[in-house]
Amino acid sequence: MTKTGRPPRRAWIARLGPRGEVGLNRAASPHAIVDDAVARIGADPVRWAIELNSVVLRRIVGEVPALGGSPAAVEMLRRGNEATTLRALFTLAEGPAAAPPADEAILGGIREFVHRAIPLERVLHGVRVGHAATTEAFLRACAELVGPEDAVDEVTAISRELFSYVDELSDTMIRTYLAEHEVWSTSAAAARADLVRSLLSDAASMDVDEASRALGYNLRRTHEAVVVWSDSPKGGSALQAAAIEVLQARGATTTLVIPVASGRLWAWGTVPPDGTDGTDGTHPADSWETITEALSRQRMRAAFGTPGSGVAGFRRSHREAERGERVERLRREAGRAPRYATAYADVAAIALLATDLDAAGDFVRRELGGLAARGAPMEALRTTLYHYIGAERSLVDVARRLHVARGTVTYRVKRAQEVLGHDLDDRRFALHTALALAEELGDAVLLPRDADR
């Protein structure tokens, strides 16, 4: 029975269930919405929808990467897509009139796409990708749960109803996008964001003094860029406050902040050209501990570029900050411990080597051979060998760094060399570089799991 007390139009909807272990606590939607959905169509169909949402989300972001852009933006997309999937379930189970109106979970994401300057055609491409993946899942489930004598008629009916549902939803999304675009395009925030994007893409055609006046930020000075992001959607004011705080800790006297996505923003600070904070002569490098503490307290991350002068420095420092952010995202995917603050100077080599991740993986696997296998035992050998080469073969230094006995270091180095099959002085630079990539990026550059056996 549905929440209304009437039998469901389609009994097979109630028999939907996830293929894996999926708890209701994995839902992106608020508890009240999940509870209501469970009351209307049952716990197993809701768990099926949660599982399906993960699959559809990966497909959307894979085909239209611009709709992602940050963990918080992906989370907002996950929430919106889950809402559309639940609405589709209500439509099929109870009829089109049973689907609630498109709410903020869906339309809030559409408005953000406007603010991020994502074209409407890309948004609609994402809608089409999501619709195709969702419809495919519904049709497959229908074929499995409906008897063969009714399957053809049922597949035809749900295809028609889902098409009508998405057509109506797309129309609502388009109207929301166009209305928000009209408001946003005339706002001061949009003008500043457009001007900054123009500076980053084609600074040659810009009048620097005029752009400085429009932004309220002197582009002729020395700049340090930072990208600040959060893993969950946060208010823009919290992110902006964090960006200003960390830039001031780096010695910035004025700042420019541009929100670019939910839970993500770009910022710049004017810093002294000599690397001091301009007051008592102390160096901003001494402030990293303060910055890390502030970011960890607010559960945010930040990647900094190196200081650069003028518009060229403004652009270069920003590119470096984004490369640092990419390294941190790759490290996160590899399961590495998060770093709250990342200086590009500390990860520049990895960032450049990982520009082509496929080529980097080929290089690591070729240089390390069996040492590129996944798993804790081989990881311990790689890590020990990486630090051993970096410490100029000092057993004492490596033992202290890794908190192990000197004998353990000796054993691991010997074992690693056996796996490599050649002396450590053979291709030493290439070997150390491959070990550094494996240390930072893990599974992204290691042998596939089926090669571990």
Query: Following DSSP, what letter does each residue of 194-222 receive, concatenated?
Result: HHHHHHHH-GGGS-HHHHHHHHTS-TTSE
Look at residue 107 and give its three-state secondary structure. helix
Write the CB contacts of 374 (distance below 8 Å, at least 6 apart in sequence). 443, 446, 447, 449, 452
Q: If DSSP states are collapsed to H, E and C, what string results for 380-403?
A: HHHHHHHHHHHCCCCHHHHHHHHC
Write the CB contacts of 331 (distance below 8 Å, at least 6 apart in sequence). 338, 339, 440, 441, 442
CATH number assigned to the domain comprising residue 391? 1.10.10.2840
Residue ending a domain, among 335, 351, 367, is 351
Tokens of 146: 């409906």
Is 192 part of any domain? Answer: no
> What pLDDT score was predicted for residue 282?
44
Residue ending a domain, among 351, 366, 382, is 351
Task: From residue 312, give the alpha-carbon distance in Å to each of 275, 322, 389.
Answer: 18, 16, 37
> What pLDDT score was predicted for residue 281?
41
pTM of the entire predicted model:
0.65
Is 155 part of any domain? Answer: yes
385 shares a domain with 446: yes
404 shares a domain with 272: no
CATH number assigned to the domain comprising residue 279? 3.30.70.120
> What pLDDT score was predicted for residue 410?
92
Tokens of 141: 């489930």
228 shares a domain with 373: no
Alpha helix (H) residue ranges in 4-147: 31-41, 43-63, 71-94, 104-115, 120-145
> What pLDDT score was predicted for residue 286?
58
Distance of alpha carbon 155 from alpha carbon 161, whole angstroms: 10
> What pLDDT score was predicted for residue 168?
86
> What pLDDT score was predicted for residue 450?
60
> What pLDDT score was predicted for residue 162?
87
Per-residue pLDDT of the chain (453 residues; tens, 9 = 90+): 445 445 557 788 888 999 888 889 889 888 888 898 898 888 999 999 999 999 999 999 999 998 887 788 888 888 889 988 888 888 888 877 766 677 777 888 888 888 888 888 888 899 899 999 999 999 999 888 888 888 788 888 888 888 888 888 888 888 888 888 888 777 778 888 889 999 998 766 778 989 998 898 999 999 999 999 987 765 567 888 889 989 989 999 899 999 887 788 999 999 988 655 444 444 455 578 889 988 988 889 999 999 999 999 999 999 999 999 999 988 888 888 889 999 999 999 999 999 999 999 999 999 999 999 998 899 999 999 999 998 888 899 989 999 999 999 999 999 998 998 888 888 889 999 999 999 999 888 998 866 544
Is 272 part of any domain? Answer: yes
Distance of alpha carbon 338 from alpha carbon 439, whole angstroms: 14
Q: Report the domain count for the chain.
A: 3
**Cβ–Cβ < 8 Å for 233, 263:** yes
360 shares a domain with 347: no
Task: From residue 176, give the alpha-carbon distance in Å to each of 44, 113, 268.
Answer: 33, 11, 32
Distance of alpha carbon 131 from alpha carbon 56, whole angstroms: 9
- For residue 26, the tally of other CB atoms under 10 A from its CB is 15
Is 251 part of any domain? Answer: yes
Is 207 part of any domain? Answer: no
Does residue 247 come out as left (phi exceeding 0), alpha (psi in the -120 to 50 range) or beta? alpha
State the DSSP code for 259.
E
439 shares a domain with 420: yes
Burial 155-164 (b: 16+ CB within 10 A, else e): beebeebbee
262 shares a domain with 131: no
Is 366 part of any domain? Answer: yes
276 shares a domain with 337: yes
Is 386 part of any domain? Answer: yes
> What pLDDT score was predicted for residue 116?
82
121 shares a domain with 162: yes
Sequence letter at residue 89: L
274 shares a domain with 141: no
250 shares a domain with 318: yes
30 shares a domain with 168: yes
> What pLDDT score was predicted for residue 129?
92
Residue ending a domain, among 351, 375, 397, is 351
Is 190 part of any domain? Answer: no
* Residue range of the domain that includes 258: 215-351
Q: If DSSP states are collapsed to H, E and C, what string results for 316-369?
A: HHHHHHHHHHHHHHHHHHCCCCCCCEEEHHHHHHHHHHCCCHHHHHHHHHHHHH
Write the CB contacts of 312 (distance below 8 Å, at least 6 apart in sequence). 203
The residue assigned the tokens 């550059």 is: 445
344 shares a domain with 396: no
